[in-house]
Each structure stands twice: as structure tokens, then as C-alpha cells.
Amino acid sequence: MSFALDAMTIVAVSAGAFFFLAGTVGLLRFPDTLTRLHALSKADNLGLGLVVLGLLPQAGSVRDGLKLLSIWLLGLLAGATVSQLIARTARQDEPTR
Amino acid sequence: MTFATFLEIMLAAVVLGLGIWTIVARDTYAAAVGFIVYGLLVALIWVRLDAVDVALTEAAIGGGLGGVLLLGAAARLRATEVMAAAEAPGKGVCLGAAALSAAVAVAIASAVLQLPEPAPTLAPAAVANASATGLANPVTNVLMAFRAMDTMLEKVVLLLAIVGVWSLASDRAWGGRPGPRHRSDPRGILAFLARLLPPVGIVVGIYVFWTGANHPGGAFQGGAILAAMWLLVIMAGLADTPPVSNRLLRLVLIGGPGLFLLVGLGGIHFGPAFLGYPPTFAKPLILGIEVAMVLTIAATLGLLLAGAPERSTEP
């Protein structure tokens, strides 16, 4: 049982790390603000979500698990809001065509 | 070399590199962003050192509220950026400053390296005497009981800082509302966040303060979270800053240090000494002071960020 849980942790956290890596590569390589934001928010949402999912089996108690989940939810909320705000500012700064 | 050591070396290298980058960065805005990331990474270092209380404070102040302050300053300075670049100090001054900073860093490093092994510490004494107050978090014990004098004076310093910021107000705005009136789309995303997040943030802030009695956390960290929620509501334009002449606001500002001082003076009469708590009432007294303190800290940090009064109370 504990082997299965550990395996799940390793797989999920590795997948999360991959999303962070992909998001960072996107942030560095994509051509404009909006696509860069797109790459970054994927890393935040999915990467953090997978890392939290992977850590859940290692949480000592239900309470700790709920804390981990709420960290992910707050991260989602903050990431989505900030992406929207940055995108809006970027659009206003853009010269009108 | 274990994996954890490797991770720590990487972290230290990134922090050092980021520090240098922040100093060299030409653009004020970029430097401010660099400093925020620097604060968050330093918080990670404190976690690695098992100093979670310090890490929370560093993240809240170095990464959070200090970051907002610096970004605001960078936005205000944007118009003068070109002029400031023209007046940049010469190479000699820069090299002199760098040499002086390096000398200070070397002096501190050699002092740390010469510390006896194991380093002198009062930590065992602080842990051994935890039963005197009934609180399990040794950091809170040191802050609120063993070195209560320092903590009380620190809060008075915060109060002086507020007076300093307020004294920058023009005659016309004296007693008025600090900072500009923020406006944003009432149906926009920022107003949405400012409605959704504060209920959660206030619970988290009170939890961090309350758990500080037995676990990492405390009045300062909790107060910083509450201040952030207050500022979010102000920046989204859902509420205005209170006029600094407001009686209730001033009462909250002096409440924390005032109660601390009062309990401290009571210690002369009822307890062992100034700021000495009667042993049976130690825990309720400390918690009472901390409740007043968390409100004072939240109001003080919020007002420090809001800035000097700019608008008179009359519309």
C-alpha cells in the first residue's frame, strides 16, 4: 500500500515539475506577453496542482491534506487574477491597430 | 553530499546572484521586482534553517508588503527616471561603494566563521523555561515574555514611523485621507478578488496569529496578512482609507503598545517587576496583549503603505 502511495507521489510530483519546466521554457521562448502568460498560468495551475496531488498521500492527517488543497486553490485564484490583470494592462499598452 | 545540501547550495547561489542582479539592474521597476523575488527566496532559506517564524515574517514583509511599497515608489519615480540616469554617480563612487560593501560583508563573514563551535546560544534556556508562561512556541515566549521590553519598544518604533509618514502631509491635507482614491471597474477582476479573498484571508490571518502561541506564527505575521487584505480592498476601490484624524483609528494604533505598557506597569505592583507577568495570569495576559497588537500591526502596516495624507476630508 505504502509503495503504491509513494509511487503516486513520485509520478505526480515529477509530472508537476515537468509542467513548471515547460511553463518556464514557454515564458522564455514565446514571442509576446499574452502567450507568455498562457505558458505561465499552465505551470501555475497544473504544475502546482500535480505537486499538491503528489504530496497528498504523504500528508500526516486529513487536516494537513486540506491545508495543501487550500494552498492550491488560493494559488489558482491568485494566478488567474494576476494573469487577467497583466493581460489587460498589456492590451492597453499595445498601440491600437 | 546529500541532495538537501545540494539544494541548499543552489538556493544560496541563486539568492546571491539575484542580489547582485538587483543592485546592477538599471530599471527601478526591474530592481523592485528582483528585490521581491529575493525576499521570497530568503524566506525559503529561513525555512531550511528551521526558523519558520522568521520565514513567515520575511515572506510577509520582504516579499509582500515591502514589495508593494517598492513597486509604488518605482511607479512614482518613473517620470524622473531619465533625469536620475543622467545624474548617475561616477565610476569612482560606484567602485568605492562596492569596495566598502564588500569589506563589510567580509568583516561579518569572518566574525561568523570565528564563532566558537557550538555557537553560544540561549535556546535551551528558552525551551526549558517555556512552562513559565504556558505557551509552547519558544519564539513567542522570547518575544512576549523573556525579551518583552524589545518587543514593546519595537511597536513604539512602528508608531513613530507612522507619525513620520504622516508628517510629510501638506498643510491642506493634514488630518485627511492617505494616498490616492483608487478606482477600478466595479465588475472587474480586481474588485472580484477583493470581494472573494478577504473572508479567507481574514480567517488565515487570525489563524496565524492564534496558532502563534504553540506553533510558528504570531501577531506580526497575522497582522501583516490582515493588512494585506485591507490594502486589497482599498486598492480595488471598494473602500477608502480612513482620515488620519479619525479617533477610532488612532485608538487602534496606540492600543497594542498602550496595553503592553499598562500590563508592564501592572507587573511592578502585582508581579515580580516591570513587564513581569504574575505567573498564574501569564498566558491570558500575553494573549490579551497580542489581540490588541495584531490590530495595531494590521492598521500600522496598512497605513504605512497607504502613505502620507493627500486629500482633505471634505470631498
Res B314: pLDDT? 57
Nearest CA-CA distance, residue B189 and chain A, Å:
6
> Which of B189, B196, B197 lies closest to A84 in CB terms?
B189
Which of B193, B197, B204 is the mutation pick for testing A, counting most A CBs within 10 A? B193
Which residues in chain B are contacts of A84 at CB distance < 8 A? Answer: 189
The Cα B301–Cα B60 span in angstroms is 11
Amino acid A77 reads L
**pLDDT at residue B175, as a whole number:** 84
Cα A25 to Cα B262: distance, rounded to the nearest angstrom:
58
- Whether chain A has a CB inside 8 Å of the CB on B191: the answer is no
Q: Identify from A77, A82, A91 which residue to disrupt to test chain B contact, counting B C-beta atoms within 10 A and taking the largest count.
A: A77
Angle at B94 between CA B91 and CA B100, to 5 degrees: 140
Provide the pLDDT confidence category of residue B39 given band limits of 50, 70 and 90: very high
Q: What is the mean pLDDT of residues B150-171?
A: 90
Please tell me the total count of domains within chain A. Answer: 1
What is the extent of the structural domain holding A44?
2-93
Cβ B196–A77 below 8 Å, yes or no?
Answer: yes
**What integer is the mean pLDDT of B266-272?**
82
For residues A49 and A19, the answer to whether their CB atoms sit within 8 Å is no
- Distance linking the first and last C-alpha atoms of chain A: 60
Q: Whole-angstrom Cα distance, residue B298 to residue B228?
A: 8
Instruction: Give the chain A residue whose CA is nearest to the CA of B201.
Output: A74
- pLDDT of residue B298 exceeding 90: yes
Considering the entire predicted model, what is its pTM? Answer: 0.87
Share of chain B above pLDDT 90, in %: 37
CB atoms within 10 A of CB A92: 8
Interface contact flag, A81 B192, Cβ < 8 Å: yes
Residue B272: Cβ-neighbour burial (10 angstroms; 0-12, 13-18, 19+): exposed
Identify any residues that bridge with B311 across adjacent strands, giving them in sequence order. Answer: B177
Per-residue pLDDT at A97: 46
The model's pLDDT over B77-127, given as tens digits with 9 standing for 90+, comes to: 888 877 777 777 788 888 999 999 999 999 999 998 888 888 788 888 888
**Are A85 and B190 in contact (CB < 8 Å)?**
yes
Is residue B203 within 8 angstroms of chain A, CB to CB?
A: no
Q: What is the DSSP string of B235-255?
A: HTTSS-PPPTT-HHHHHHHHH
CB contact under 8 A, A74 and B196: no
The 3-state DSSP composition of chain B as helix, strand, coil percent (nearest 5) reads 75, 0, 25
Inform me whether the C-beta atom of residue B200 falls under 8 Å from chain A C-beta atoms: yes
Give yes or no for a contact between B275 and B264, defined as CB atoms under 8 angstroms apart.
yes
Give the number of C-alpha atoms closer than 13 A to the C-alpha of residue A89, restricted to the C-beta side: 8
| Interface pTM, i.e. ipTM | 0.83
Output the CA angle B265-B267-B268, nearest 5 degrees: 75
Write out pLDDT tens, residues A42-78.
887 889 999 999 999 888 889 899 999 999 999 999 8
Terminal-to-terminal C-alpha distance of chain B: 66
Closest CA–CA distance from residue A14 to any residue of chain B (Å): 16
Within a 10 A sphere around the Cβ of A31, how many other Cβ atoms?
Answer: 7
> How far is residue B101's CA from residue A64's CA, in Å, rounded to a whole number?
44
Residues of B in contact with A81 (CB under 8 A): 189-190, 192-193
The reported pLDDT for the residue numbered B160 is 93
Q: What pLDDT sits at residue B215? A: 85
Q: What are phi and psi of B33, to 5 degrees?
A: -65, -40
Which positions in chain A have a beta carbon within 8 angstroms of at least one beta carbon in chain B?
74, 77, 81, 84-85, 88
> Across the interface, do B190 and A74 touch by the CB < 8 Å criterion?
no
Per the CB < 8 Å rule, is B196 touching A85?
no
Distance, in Å, from the CA atom of A55 to the CA atom of A6, rounded to the nearest integer, reads 9
Pairing of strands B177-178, B309-311: antiparallel
B302: nearest Cα among B229, B246, B252, B238: B229
Establish if B193 touches chain A: CB-CB under 8 angstroms: yes
Q: Does residue A22 contact residue A39 with C-beta atoms inside 8 Å?
A: yes
B7–A contact, CB cutoff 8 A:
no
Asked if the Cβ–Cβ distance from B189 to A77 is below 8 Å, we say no
Answer whether B193 sits within 8 Å of A81, measured CB to CB: yes
